[in-house]
Amino acid sequence: MSHKKPNLPEKTCARCGRAFTWRKKWAKCWDNVKYCSEKCRRQARTLAPDSAQTPP
């Protein structure tokens, strides 16, 4: 007998485009969650300044 998850809300990661579902640890901040993982969050922060610069 397996435990089935109820229908949980989903979002798309702002960095990689992967779909991810709600987690209990995000219960209080779900509206602010943008990334599927810590890795995507870190990469988005490091890549953002480079993408804002224009080439010479």
Q: Which residue has the tokens 């209080």?
A: 28
Residue 55, domain member (yes or no): no
Residue 18: which domain range? 10-47
Amino acid, single-letter form, for residue 17: G
Domain count across the chain: 1
pLDDT tens-digit profile, the chain (56 residues): 566 777 899 999 999 999 999 999 999 999 999 999 999 999 988 876 555 555 55
| Predicted local confidence at residue 49, as pLDDT | 58
Q: Which residues pair with 21 in a beta bridge?
A: 10
CA distances (Å), 38 to each of 6, 8, 20, 26, 53, in order? 25, 20, 13, 13, 24
Q: Which residues pair with 19 in a beta bridge?
A: 12
Cα radius of gyration (the chain): 15
Residue 2, domain member (yes or no): no
| Predicted local confidence at residue 35, as pLDDT | 96
- pTM of the entire predicted model: 0.69
Residue 35, domain member (yes or no): yes
